[in-house]
Amino acid sequence: MACYVDAAREYPDAGLRFTRFCHLLSDSRQELHEMADQLGMPRRFFQDHPWRWHYDLPEHLRAEAVRRGAVQLTMHEVGALLRRRRTAAGG
């Protein structure tokens, strides 16, 4: 099991305090929530979906996630992870 982060990208119209985010993903929801808790991410930022569940992680927390063991993925690798989840979810 592992947690993952992709590259931070600009979301200028997010209407939030920060405009640069990456995705925090994991192989299991439990592990994802544990990492988010360690990073101080409120559970309300969890984006629930049958197979695309993740947190939008502000860029300034990305390095800390990596320090805590999150693996850096390319967008292609994130796509493969999501396809595996979708298949497992029957979607």
pLDDT band at 1 (very low <50, low <70, confident <90, very high): low
Alpha helix locations (H) across the chain? 29-39, 59-67, 75-88
pLDDT band of 90, cuts 50, 70, 90:
confident
User: What is the pLDDT, as a whole number, of residue 18?
Assistant: 77
The per-residue pLDDT for range 30-83, each reduced to its tens digit, is: 999 999 999 999 999 999 999 999 999 999 999 999 999 999 999 999 999 999
**First CA to last CA across the chain, in angstroms?**
22
∠ at Cα 66 (62, 71), nearest 5°?
110
